[in-house]
Structure 1
Amino acid sequence: MNSLYKDSRFRYIILANLASSIGSGITMIAIPWLLVTSDKGNEVFGFVAICMTIINFILTPYLGYLIDKVSRKKMIVSSKVLSLIALILFSGVGFLGMEYELWHYIIIYMIGSLYYTIFYPTMFALNQELFHKNQFKVLNGTMEVQGQLSSMLAGAIASVLLLKWDLHYILLLDVCTYALAIYFFVRIPYVRTRKEKAVSVSTSEAINFMKREPGLFLFLLASSLPFIGVMLTNYLFPVYLADVLEVEGDIYGIQGMVYGLGAVLAGIIVPIAARIWEDEKLVAGTMILFTMAISVMVYLPVGGYLFMMLLIAFGNGGARVARNAFMMERIPNEIIGRVDGLLRAVGLLLRIVLLGVFTGLVSMGEIMLCFMILTVILVVASVFVVVFSRKSLRVAGRQVLKV
């Protein structure tokens, strides 16, 4: 643990992520708000969100191939530079005295969505490449804490800036944080060690790898369900609070803070628990906790709902920390981008289908049926996680799987 914190590469990564996460987080809170409060913006935002999910689904496998083919550091820096240039241009619109129109908001949102699609899997692969396997658990726990604290700070700052600043000043702040992040990423000592022949194949290599390890594929796919569930409940929870519990908006704000607290606790506790239990057992335990919490929360009053939200956050954050460490230890670095891209693509497809189903059910006033469907899916996924963590994955031992 101490060796990780003393590593200059780790410190630069944390500082870069803090800077860019806060800046981009503020912008990605401000832009949806400005979109939905524009004339007909609510309908437009829903359409844009679905379109971007489909675009990300199409791009994800190819991005996974690029992550394995080119320098991951250059890929991150390049994406940040391009985003910075785009934000400078859009910030200039306001400084020139021009009015922002709906299409400006749409383009900025699309840029932010594409940036996230590139950044997170690339950062995941870069972390695996830079650090030793005995550091993965603490590394992923620290990244979880950093990410949640950045999100909470971005939300707090955005709530103030949306009332005080015009959009071009918010975008300029984002530009400054991106520039700072680029500086820190450039400072990271990095020598690409992978061989070119290891990436001479296409995404089919990831598919073939998963075919040879069906238990591993099912485990990784099923263990991604908590994250997919959280993405879906980002749509369901506001509707549930307003239409079923009939509470004021402050409860939604408190829910966000409670969720952040639960995720931070997961980032701290799970790496400590990993000294005692194996990653797959931690994934199974936190996923069961997530499933139980989400299955009962809709039958509880506001106080119980918020407590279940704490458990949901802990379950999702804990499963993600343990799952990421598990993947880093068992998936070869030369194909991690394509394997991760394949899993993300399947997850995005599932999100698209379920979001379409849930949108239709909510329009008919059947939000409780949405939660029932989600619970059934999570129970099935949890069974896969438990079964394969006890059988198929035990066969693999603690060795990295070979291509």
Structure 2
Amino acid sequence: MKKNFTLFIISDLISQFSAGIVLAALNWYIIDVYQSNSLVATIANINVIAGLIISLVAVGLLKRMNSKRIALMSYFFRVIFIALPLILLKLGIDDRLAIYLLALSNGIGWNLYFPASKDILNSFTVEENTLQLNSFAEISMQVGLFSAALVSGILYRYIGFENILLLGTSLFFVALVIFALVKYQESDKVEAIEQQGVFAYLIGHKWLLILGLVLYIPFIGANVINTTLPGYIQAHLSGNSISYGFTDTMYGVGACLAGVLLPVIAKFINKEHLIFPLFSIAVLLGVVLVLNHSLALTAGYIFLLGSVGPAIRTIIYTRTMEMVPGKLLGPLVSVWNFINLIFQFVANYSVGRVMDIVGPQWGFMIYASTMLLGILLFIGIKNRYRA
């Protein structure tokens, strides 16, 4: 099992790194060429709409198909939807079409991959190692996804956007090959549906819908940061692609630190009692970033946000794995992901409009409001959650 888990994590790390360098380069390319925060938000919402559609498909697929096949499909879509825009850009065809296709790469690929990968991760866990494996998986995602931003910022300046896409395509292909070698114990999908369907389970446990929102609000917050940061760095702080990449990377550094420290802290403090303080810190930092004018301090604040959001996700997802039957976990995550994408759409639209009309720094006020919603929702279910 250790060898297969290692292969799974290596593949995940490479794929998240590839997604990270492409996403960071795409966001900066839009700001660099079009000077439009609204276009950054529009691209994010194309990602969301594709994700909404794919999430509906993913629920059915996870009931009937092998999770590994679904994850491999996600890699295939990502390779195709990065390679096609690269060809369009090389041929000098409309670069907006290339941008829209890149948004589809993440929208389709991520929303197929995420629930399938969680299903596979669940097969490696036992009660004693659930928090440790979830923390390790969170570290993998953050090292790959956000730490790639610094590399992307440097590469953007010295080799250009098109060469970053070429690198991203190659890395996704390598990740696909490694993932194909992973072996694990697959749940019996047909038996799971005969015993209890995910929707029937949710009807009997309605509060889990709210828990899903609380789980995904840090995801929504991270997406708001991704949408806000390019315009915030360029227009509000007069930074360049390298300073943007470095600042974005600090989120990943903070997330890695949280992944390492959380299992240690959980030995001394009940991890469930950390959720409210972590959300509160996120709200405060969002307000501070609205008032901030220092590029150096911004990196520090983003580092702290990176420590907070992923820690909340890890704690809640670990608790979810303890409560929800393993055979229903993948489909349940897909349902949650669908609801999350609706909220992401609203948040992205709001961020783009507010930044262009009021000012780029006000995107972080939407972040603070999003995390405040997380506090209110968690207060509403905390008794059931801790039961």
Q: Bin the TM-score by the shorter chain.
A: 0.7 to 0.9
Please point out which of 166, 175, 179 is paired with 2:173.
179
Q: Whole-Å Cα distance in 2 between the matches of residues 46 and 292 of structure 1?
A: 24
> Which position in structure 2 is the counterpart of 1:334?
327
Q: Whole-Å Cα distance in 2 between the matches of residues 254 and 87 of structure 1?
A: 24
Question: Are the equivalent residues in 1 in contact too, given 2:155–2:164 (CA < 8 A)?
Answer: yes
Please point out which of 156, 161, 168 is paired with 1:162.
156
**Structure possessing the higher radius of gyration over alpha carbons:** 1
Deviations 1:11-63 (A, max 9, x none): 10121122222333333333444455557998766544323312312331331
> Which position in structure 2 is the counterpart of 1:141?
135
> Which position in structure 2 is the counterpart of 1:309?
302
> Which position in structure 1 is the counterpart of 2:190?
196
Q: Comparing 295-304 with 341-350, which one deviates more in the overlay?
A: 295-304
Deviation at 1:305, TM superposition (A): 4.4
Residue 57 in 1 paired to residue 52 in 2? yes
> Which position in structure 2 is the counterpart of 1:264?
256
> Which position in structure 1 is the counterpart of 2:226?
234
Partner AA of 1:182 in structure 2: L
Q: Whole-Å Cα distance in 1 between the matches of residues 353 and 146 of structure 2?
A: 31
Structure 1 runs, 4 residues or longer, greater than 6 Å off: 39-43, 366-369
Q: Comparing 177-186 with 260-269, which one deviates more in the overlay?
A: 177-186
Deviations 1:327-353 (A, max 9, x none): 222222222222212222222112222
> Aligned pair in 2 of structure 1 residues 268, 352: CA closer, same or farther (>3 Å)?
same
Q: Percent identity?
A: 18
1:260 is paired with a residue whose SS is helix
Q: Comparing 363-372 with 303-312, which one deviates more in the overlay?
A: 363-372
Question: Are the equivalent residues in 2 in contact too, given 1:29–1:158 (CA < 8 A)?
Answer: yes
2:253 is paired with a residue whose SS is helix
> Which position in structure 1 is the counterpart of 2:67?
72
Question: Are the equivalent residues in 2 in contact too, given 1:255–1:309 (CA < 8 A)?
Answer: yes
> Aligned pair in 2 of structure 1 residues 108, 309: CA closer, same or farther (>3 Å)?
closer
Deviation at 1:376, TM superposition (A): 4.4
Match runs of 1:1-400 below 5 Å: 7-34=2-29, 37=32, 46-84=41-79, 98-99=91-92, 101-102=94-95, 103-165=97-159, 169-199=163-193, 205-241=197-233, 246-249=237-240, 252-302=244-294, 305-365=298-358, 371-372=364-365, 374-386=367-379, 388-389=381-382, 391-395=383-387
Question: Are the equivalent residues in 2 in contact too, given 1:93–1:168 (CA < 8 A)?
Answer: no
**Stretches of structure 1 lacking an aligned partner (at least 5 in a row):** 1-5, 396-403
Deviations 1:337-378 (A, max 9, x none): 222122222221122223333433334326676655653453
2:180 is paired with a residue whose SS is helix
Question: Are the equivalent residues in 2 in contact too, given 1:219–1:388 (CA < 8 A)?
Answer: yes
Q: Whole-Å Cα distance in 2 between the matches of residues 144 and 72 of structure 1?
A: 19
Question: Are the equivalent residues in 2 in contact too, given 1:216–1:392 (CA < 8 A)?
Answer: no
Q: Whole-Å Cα distance in 1 between the matches of residues 348 and 82 of structure 2?
A: 30
> Aligned pair in 2 of structure 1 residues 41, 228: CA closer, same or farther (>3 Å)?
closer
Q: When the two structures are superposed, what TM-score results if normalisation uses the length of structure 2?
A: 0.84
Question: Are the equivalent residues in 1 in contact too, given 2:44–2:227 (CA < 8 A)?
Answer: no
> Aligned pair in 2 of structure 1 residues 193, 353: CA closer, same or farther (>3 Å)?
closer
Question: Are the equivalent residues in 2 in contact too, given 1:75–1:122 (CA < 8 A)?
Answer: yes
> Aligned pair in 2 of structure 1 residues 84, 251: CA closer, same or farther (>3 Å)?
closer
> Aligned pair in 2 of structure 1 residues 59, 379: CA closer, same or farther (>3 Å)?
same
> Aligned pair in 2 of structure 1 residues 253, 162: CA closer, same or farther (>3 Å)?
closer
Question: Are the equivalent residues in 1 in contact too, given 2:220–2:344 (CA < 8 A)?
Answer: yes
2:203 is paired with a residue whose SS is helix
1:187 is paired with a residue whose SS is coil
> Which position in structure 2 is the counterpart of 1:401?
none
Deviations 1:222-245 (A, max 9, x none): 2432221221233334444555x5
Partner AA of 1:291 in structure 2: V
Deviation at 1:71, TM superposition (A): 0.5
Partner AA of 1:320 in structure 2: R
Q: Comparing 70-79 with 304-313, which one deviates more in the overlay?
A: 304-313
Q: Whole-Å Cα distance in 2 between the matches of residues 308 and 153 of structure 1?
A: 16
Q: Whole-Å Cα distance in 2 between the matches of residues 218 and 387 of structure 1?
A: 9
Residue-pair matches, total: 384
What CA RMSD, in Å, does the superposition of the two structures yield over aligned residues? 3.3
Q: Whole-Å Cα distance in 2 between the matches of residues 43 and 357 of structure 1?
A: 9
Q: Whole-Å Cα distance in 2 between the matches of residues 364 and 85 of structure 1?
A: 36
Q: Comparing 285-294 with 303-312, which one deviates more in the overlay?
A: 303-312
> Aligned pair in 2 of structure 1 residues 266, 327: CA closer, same or farther (>3 Å)?
same
Q: Whole-Å Cα distance in 2 between the matches of residues 353 and 159 of structure 1?
A: 28
